[in-house]
Amino acid sequence: MKPINVGLLGLGTVGGGTLTVLRRNATEITRRAGREIRVLRAAVRNLDKAKLLAGDLPLSTNPFDVVDDPEIDIVVELIGGLEPARELVMQAIANGKHVVTANKHLIAKHGNEIFAAAQAKGVMVAFEAAVAGGIPIIKALREGLSANRIEWLAGIINGTSNFILTEMRDKGAAFEDVLKQAQELGYAEADPTFDIEGIDAAHKLTILSAIAFGIPMQFDRAYTEGISKLTREDVQYAEELGYRIKLLGIARRAENGIELRVHPTLIPERRLIANVDGAMNAVLVKGDAVGPTLYYGAGAGAEPTASAVVADLVDVTRLHTADPHHRVPHLAFQPDQLSDTPILPMDEVRTAYYLRLRAFDRPGVLADITRILADSHISIDAMVQKEPAEGEEQVNIILLTHITVEKNVNAAIAKIEALDAVAGQVMRIRLEELAAK
Ligand code: HSE
């Protein structure tokens, strides 16, 4: 059979990795796809930089040379960001080309519009590389778990922040130094606040939630809190209590809607996912039939991400000639079967909490605090009061609560902070048991 022709947009970390893997494993890939996957041309920003890697591959600095080339069957978008990526993807679809993309930002923000356009044109848009790099989590959720009603999923889906948290815990490294290292290793986003403030994880969580629950992409409704306010002190106290702190993306089917949230989370240290360190990613998915399943691997980097891009290329190549109605739907569920289950506001989310506060070491302070919690219907699970440091009058009090509603905790925190005996703000970190039941 004649080769399928691919045009690459971008030859940076992931684009370079994709070209390398396609070339190195060409025989294996052809045996799987049933025909050769041939890169016909690539668009790059900097010709000089790309030439060495590209070899005899024709290069251009105008991405429309790729998108409008009638010879090209599949456009691989690896430039990232919203524009011009959105325009290029929409133009590729309008030209009747399939699209493979690693662009989580684009899919989380404009996925609904992109899939509708692709549906209308009968082309595929594949995006395995957009979530958790090399881990085939889209495939697993969309196809492997299609018998299940997904109850919840929780993922470490930003390698940079996991790398930072790990280095801070293991080596006591400074935040800035570790971030710099992550940038040098090619893990960090162009704007590293996306990594540190949980935005990149929220993009990926939005995509996972859509496929898990058959809902449209709703990035703007995701709650996003990053790791920049975490202190070494909290990491240590969490460990003393038997927990690790991870930046988790959590999507959960609750009674009145769907919880969609990214935030630092205490997890029992005995859970496998609590031991996912460095830049590695992991996604824990709970299906009603299968129970909990865990997917682990490299969430970023040239070849791990290329692994997902090339797998999508193989899929698209195999299904290229199939009747569009017999292909796996973009969001796992048939497009007319998407659900309008609402995303819950953060106030309505139910979880447990770690609270740390500084208080003057005098009679009645603990009684005042526990009274406020009791009045807010918050039950205490564990409590530790640290001895004051030499010459200090204030002590650190750490409380773990049972599961409660976020708005009750917020109200209680405001009252605790207003107490004369309490200094400064209460540190609040959510806690999830992630138990199988
Ligand atoms: N900045 C991302 C991360 C890259 O650190 O996980 C992969 O999406």
Please write down the HEC assignment for all residues of 309-345: HHHHHHHHHHHCCCCHHHCCCCCCCCHHHCCCCCECC
Contact yes or no for 393/351 (Cβ under 8 A): no
List residues bridging with 26 in a β-sheet.
Answer: none
Catalytic pick among 104, 109, 139, 204: 204
Helix (H) or strand (E) holding 18: helix 13-24
- CA 91, 94, 98 angle in degrees (round to 5)? 85
User: Could you tell me if the CB of 134 is within 6 A of ligand 1?
Assistant: no
Cα radius of gyration rounded to whole Å, the chain: 24
Predicted pLDDT at 182: 83
Ligand 1 atom index nearest CA of 131: 8
Ligand 1 atom index nearest CA of 182: 5
Ligand 1 centroid to Cα of residue 200, in Å, is 7
Q: Where are the beta strands (DSSP E) in 27-124?
A: 37-43, 59-60, 74-77, 98-101
User: Could you tell me if the CB of 195 is within 6 A of ligand 1?
Assistant: yes
Contact yes or no for 203/81 (Cβ under 8 A): no
User: Could you tell me if the CB of 73 is within 6 A of ligand 1?
Assistant: no
The protein residue whose alpha carbon is closest to atom 8 in ligand 1 is 300
Nearest residue to 303 via CA among 186, 147, 165, 137: 186
Residue 120: left if φ>0, alpha if ψ -120 to 50, beta else—which one? alpha
SS3 at position 274: helix
Ligand 1 centroid to Cα of residue 297, in Å, is 13
User: Could you tell me if the CB of 189 is within 6 A of ligand 1?
Assistant: yes
Nearest residue to 79 via CA among 69, 92, 70, 88: 88
Q: Does 121 participate in catalysis according to the annotation?
A: no
| Angstrom distance (rounded) from CA 94 to CA 110 | 16
User: Could you tell me if the CB of 158 is within 6 A of ligand 1?
Assistant: yes
Instruction: Give the residue carrying structure tokens 């605790």.
Output: 416
CB atoms within 10 A of CB 102: 27
User: Could you tell me if the CB of 197 is within 6 A of ligand 1?
Assistant: no
Contact yes or no for 224/202 (Cβ under 8 A): yes
Question: Encoding tokens for residue 161?
Answer: 């922040």
Q: Is the pTM of this model over 0.85?
A: yes
Of 14, 127, 158, 305, the one to substitute when testing ligand 1's pocket (max ligand atoms within 8 A of C-beta) is: 158
* Local mean pLDDT, 10-residue blocks, the chain (437 residues): 96 96 98 98 96 96 98 98 98 98 98 98 98 97 98 97 91 82 84 95 98 98 95 91 97 97 98 96 98 97 97 96 91 94 98 97 93 97 89 93 98 98 97 91
User: Could you tell me if the CB of 127 is within 6 A of ligand 1?
Assistant: no
Q: For residue 167, what are the contacts with CB-CB under 8 A and spacing of at least 6?
A: 173, 178, 181
- Cα 394 to Cα 44, 146, 366, 387: the distances in Å are 58, 54, 13, 9
DSSP single-letter state for residue 237: H
Question: Encoding tokens for residue 127?
Answer: 């995006």
Of 189, 199, 204, 296, the one to substitute when testing ligand 1's pocket (max ligand atoms within 8 A of C-beta) is: 189
Ligand 1 centroid to Cα of residue 181, in Å, is 13
| Angstrom distance (rounded) from CA 337 to CA 82 | 27
DSSP single-letter state for residue 144: I
